[in-house]
Structure 1
Amino acid sequence: MCSAEFFDVRDATTEPLHAQYQYIAVGGGTARCALATTLSEQYKVLLLERGGTPYGNPRIERVEGWSDLLVDDPRNPSETRFYSRASAAQVRAAGWKPSRVAEAYRWVEKKIVHPGSHGVWQTALQDSLLQTGVTPNNGLNNDHIYGTKVGGSLFDKQGRRDSAADFLSYANDKLLTVLTFANVQRIIFDNSGKIYHVEIIYSKTQPGALGSPQLLLLSGIGSCEHLAEFNITCHVELNAVGADMVDNPKNAIVVLSPTPVETSLLSVVGIDKEFIIEGGSGSNFSWQLPGMGQLNYVAPSQRTPDFVASAFILTKLYDPISYGSLRLNSTDINRNPYVKFNYYSHPRDIEYCISGVKRFYKLLRAPAFQPFRFTTVTSLVASIYYQLKEGESTEGAYLPDVSNYTETAEWCRTTLTTIWHFHGGCTVGKVVDKSYRVFGTRPLRVVDGSTFTKSPGTNPQATVMMLGRYVGVKILKERRITPKAANTTN
């Protein structure tokens, strides 16, 4: 969502019905704010945002409010604080030029990334990871490397959140136009097959993070057989549109802490070859954890002194090989497409989840974590976790018996949730070329996470922002224009 604080943002409903631009960027999100800002150095650019602006909302702008926002709408993936680059291996696999990637990351980081910081609970998580063998200690580090580290943060020292929308403060305001509540329904082609214009419907809905393959399908780019089901004219047959959809499954445990903890989200991370361990603290996280919803029934007045706060530890599957697909549900862009991720359909993915659950046991037993977990089930803990009996010993959270493969595998399947790292559907080599042009439609590009075959790094956000800058610079260079340096502003 695009900034009203720094930039002249207008409601699309007040604008002329027809206007011409050299570039139109659909969506004011993670990649395209960076892309539009870069292109505006030399070209007339229109940036269309389907929603409004986030500024003035403390639940978005303040670190204290992030969990409340997610409780209201747990589908909203935008409120992450963690910043981490893609690995060097992923950069090579994507065919990107490392020097240009590094320059694009620096451009992003100069504008919105701050050194990560953490309090007592995150410190305990960090120490526990190191004590259980997730080494080396990489300290404060934005790179994706094995071991334990503290990532960069989109929150500054005062707890204010920066976002990709802030890139617009560096755009050329004479060449960039930003329209909000402009939901692109489809891309219109003329009789010769060339792109003619985009059709906008005025809407205040936000269907989610899977819009690129959906928009291509609605525009007649995809499987002609599938498009015929909705009477959509097939302009370009690309059967891979909507294919190879992947999400990184997350499994988490709620930890009831008898010791006060700070409000924190994903500051410390442990990176293993099979899984990633992160955690947050300071609020009731049970709303997003199937099987842990008992916490929702504990009213604040019933939270006795031995129940100070809750926290969570999650394991995210780093590189799932269970693939799914996306198909249309309707010709209305406001209707979410049908998406099937086929979580844990491949047995290797289940094996990796079980490895992550075993890591939970080790973390909870680590010396550094002892002040932050119950070792004996109290009456309150027993009332929350019906599986536990008062007086018995406990790990501090409800966990399956990892010696029982069937039980643990079922736990992985029944407690999985998304971490909103969707990718695929418009992958490089199948839907777009290495310049991110859609095959068969030279002027049209897709620049976002739907082009990835793997979610990059610990969190894809950094790399999606980098990609917007990277592709923008690439376009300028192709047209023999030198982009402005990373250490300068407009």
Structure 2
Amino acid sequence: MVPLSSFDYIIVGAGSAGCVLANRLTEDPQCQVLLLETGGSDRSIFIQMPTALSIPMNTKKYAWQFHTEPEPYLNNRRMHCPRGKVLGGSSSINGMVYVRGHARDFDEWEAQGAEGWNYQQCLPYFKKAEDWAFGEDDYRSQGGPLAVNNGNNMQNPLYGAFVEAGQQAGYMHTDDYNGKQQEGFGAMHMTVKNGVRWSTANAYLRPAMQRANLHVQTGVQVEKVLLDGNKATGVRVRQNGQFREFQARREVILSAGSIGSPHILQLSGIGDPVVLEEAGVELKHALPGVGSNLQDHLEFYFQYECKEPLSLNSKLGPLSKLAIGVRWILFKTGLGATNHFESCGFIRSKAGIEWPDLQYHFLPAAMRYDGRSAFAGHGFQLHIGHNKPKSRGSVKIQSDDLDCPPKIQFNYLQHPDDIEAFRACVRLSREIIAQPAMDPYRGNEIQPGAAVVTDEQIDSFVRSAVESAYHPCGTCKMGAIDDPTAVVDSDTRVIGLRQLRVVDSSIFPTIPNGNLNAPTIMVAERAADLIKQQTALSGESVAVGLAEHWQSQQRCHAPLRG
């Protein structure tokens, strides 16, 4: 146990945001920081080896295995919602894909009341965080904690064929979707360093743990934030079956994620009075927005047989996996050193949309997220989803019992525009794979299947086949203090309370067009300066690439094959 019981800052959650904060706040040697994590060590080959990504997210030891309530617009399916429960949090169980989001996503945040969170102000913090493998420019930087590269550099020819097919279908090529121009097809980036998953635990926490002023406690579950009137004074936790309290001299910072942070607020009596009353929790501070505004990305696998024996399906047997693992253990190279998502695409689902709302991850295999083969033989697949959903859900406390999980309801596909976008996913994807670049490889369509053609057939397929992309956010919305749906202000402070902040993906006002680890790290980098009351990094005015005729055209030219 930590001998101290009082600290300057208490950070709840050693995940994508918490590890960043632990590093940045302990840069001041006079500042004592306590970092609390329910999970344990991330020292596992299944976490550190990139190709093993499907294992930790499906393992109770490393992830909260949440499930939603029956989703009414997905045939009442209960959807899997794993969240990191280990040092590094969800950055230790995710797919390691590095996508910042489109510049307009952050302009959208500011438009919704998150003052100072436009793209110009966020860009310096994306750059501060990263160590980009391919040099510096106005958009990218080197020397930061977070290693970003392209894994095995698209050695499998299927990656390049997919990128070429996207251009033949009428879309742009992008040299760097995290740079000036997101829209288009190109190489995908990942958080891997020297063949090892570069989680925030590796990038930020381990260097900080060498400092005497950082105190890390694992196996600790936070029951509630302690309040003295409208001031947060510390936290009450359970560790080894015993309860104890830690005091915060300056601030308590919740970084428990989009499920954990609103739940802890609700356990503390902070939230919607109606929700708290139904759960039998005493109201301490009314904030109706706590737990609302829940958003996520859905995706499905568009799968094809591959006519050439190039796919990873032949590597899924026990002997092949053993060989991959041995090579990785010895040399940190080969197929074990990549997440296999090495090419991608970002497109708009229809004309009149200013920036991309659909995202492709290309995988040279036909398999499921649990790592099992989808069929016997060679294949490839597109992970395709609509990334700017209008449907909204909630996270609601059910009981004051610490062991009772919250009620999670996304209301996936509730909004008709979301269904329309998934129809575009099916039709546009078929058009891309029908291009000449894929002729040497394209076999039969496995899923959805050639017979799925009409709106009704596509809708039925989507409702039965879509899965979460594991990007929940928005449940402690950042906004103006007079916004009744906002939970934190633009300085990440819980509205109406002192010395309490939330810093993680739960404060996103809207979901970005991309995977959420990169913007979560950026948010934590910028929040650290706000907490330390340092002068924020100067905003950078840069050009933002948009399709020239986005108002009237869905792509830049007609496809070679329709």
TM superposition score normalised by structure 2: 0.71
Counterpart of 1:33, as a letter, is C
Relative distance call for 1:438 and 1:208 in structure 2 (3 A) is closer
Distance 1:32 1:70, change over 3 A: closer
Greater mean deviation of Cα atoms: 174-183 or 212-221: 174-183
Check if 1:240 corresponds to 2:277: no
Is 1:320 the equivalent of 2:389? yes
Q: 3-state SS of the aligned residue for 1:270?
A: strand
1:443 CA displacement: 0.8
Which is worse superposed, 125-134 or 348-357? 125-134
Q: Deviations over 1:77-110 (max 9, x none)?
A: 5322211213222222333265552332122212
Letter in 1 for 2:234: H
- Answering whether residue 421 of structure 2 is matched by residue 352 of structure 1, we say yes
Deviation at 1:186, TM superposition (A): 1.0
Q: Is the CA contact 2:258–2:506 (under 8 Å) kept in the aligned structure 1?
A: no
When structure 1 is superposed on structure 2, of 85-94 and 441-450 the one drifting more is: 85-94
Alignment of 1:439 with 2:492, yes or no, is no
Residue 491 of structure 2 corresponds to residue 455 of structure 1: no
Q: How does 1:178-257 map to 2 (within 5 A)?
A: 178-190=216-228, 192-202=229-239, 210-257=259-306
Distance in 1 of aligned mates of 2:106 and 2:413:
26
Q: CA deviation at 1:253?
A: 2.4
Q: Which moved more, 1:107-116 or 1:169-178?
A: 169-178
Aligned position for 2:108: 93
Distance 2:488 2:380 in 1: 41
Tell me the alpha carbon deviations over residues 221-274 of structure 1, each in whole angstroms, 9 at most, x when there is no partner.
Answer: 011222122332211101111111111111222333342225543332211233
Q: Distance in 2 between matches of 1:334 and 1:106?
A: 39
**Correspondent of 2:521 among 430, 449, 465:** 465
Matched residues in 1 for 2:42 and 2:524: separation? 20
Aligned residue pairs: how many? 429
Q: 1:115 aligned to 2:139?
A: no
Offset from partner CA, 1:91-136 (integer Å, 9 cap, x none): 223332655523321222122223212232322222222221231x
2:99 aligns with one of 75, 80, 84: 84
The aligned counterpart of 1:330 is 399
Q: Secondary structure at the match of 1:21?
A: strand
CA contact (8 A) 2:54 2:370 kept: no
What residue number does 2:367 align with? 284
Are 1:273 and 2:311 an aligned pair?
Answer: no
Instruction: Write the deviation string for residues 163-205 of structure 1: whole angstroms up to 9, x where unpaired.
Output: 1112124437122111111121111223x3422320111279x
Structure 1 position 37 matched with structure 2 position 58: no
Equivalent residue for 2:126, pick from 105, 120, 130: 105
Q: CA deviation at 1:348?
A: 0.8
Structure-2 residue corresponding to 1:147: 184
Work out the CA distance in 2 between the residues paired with 1:169 and 1:457.
30
The CA deviation at 1:145 is 1.6
- The match for 1:134 among 166, 171, 183 is 171
SS in 2 for 1:67: coil
Query: In the alignment, is the contact (CA less than 8 A) between 1:358 and 1:402 conserved in 2?
Result: no
Structure 1 contact 245–323 (Cα < 8 Å) conserved: yes
Cα distance, 1:25 vs structure 2 = 0.8
Aligned CA RMSD, in angstroms, stands at 2.7
Answer whether contact 1:81 1:266 (CA < 8 A) is retained: no
**4+ residue runs of structure 1 moved beyond 6 angstroms?**
480-483
Counterpart AA for 2:477: T
Distance 1:146 1:51 in 2: 38
Q: Give how far 1:283 is off.
A: 6.7
Greater shift, 45-54 or 100-109, is seen at 100-109
3-state SS of 2:380 partner: strand
**Residue 418 of structure 1 pairs with residue 468 of structure 2:** yes
Alignment partner, residue 36 of structure 2? 48
Contact 1:325 1:340 in 2 (8 A): yes
The answer on whether the counterparts of 1:423 and 1:455 sit within 8 Å (CA) in structure 2 is: yes
User: What corresponds to 1:363 in structure 2?
Assistant: 432
Deviation at 1:433, TM superposition (A): 0.4
Distance 1:255 1:208 in 2: 35
Q: Is the 8 Å Cα contact of residues 477 and 507 (structure 2) preserved in structure 1?
A: yes
Helix, strand or coil: the match of 1:424? coil
Q: Which moved more, 1:344-353 or 1:251-260?
A: 251-260
Instruction: Assess, with a 3 A threshold, how the Cα gap between structure 1 residues 195 and 397 changes in structure 2: closer, same or farther.
Output: closer
Letter in 1 for 2:283: C
Cα gap change, 1:67/1:131 in structure 2, threshold over 3 Å: closer, same or farther? farther
CA distance in 1, matches of 2:283, 2:291: 15
1:341-388 deviations in whole A, cap 9, x for unaligned? 1111111111100001112212332222233332xxxxxxxxxxxxxx
Counterpart Cα distance in 1 of 2:397 and 2:125: 34
Q: Could you tell me how far apart the structure 1 residues matched to 2:450 and 2:366 are?
A: 24
Structure 1 residues 333, 369: closer, same or farther in 2, change over 3 A?
Answer: farther
**1:149 touches 1:270 (CA, 8 Å); kept in 2?**
yes
Equivalent residue for 1:339?
408
**Structure 1 residue 329: deviation in Å?**
2.4
Work out whether residues 256 and 397 of structure 1, in 8 Å CA contact, stay in contact via their aligned partners in 2.
Answer: no
Q: Which runs of 5+ in 1 are unaligned?
A: 1-13, 375-393, 484-490
- Inter-CA distance 86–320: structure 2 relative to 1 (3 Å threshold): same
Q: Is the 8 A contact 2:176 2:186 kept in 1?
A: yes
In structure 2, distance between residues paired with 1:261 and 1:353:
26
- Structure 2 gap segments, 5+ residues each: 61-79, 84-89, 110-115, 132-144, 242-255, 313-334, 350-357, 480-485, 539-562
> Would you say the 8 A contact 1:246–1:324 is kept in 2?
yes
Contact 2:108 2:118 in 1 (8 A): no
Q: Secondary structure at the match of 1:22?
A: strand
Indicate the SS of the match to 1:277: strand
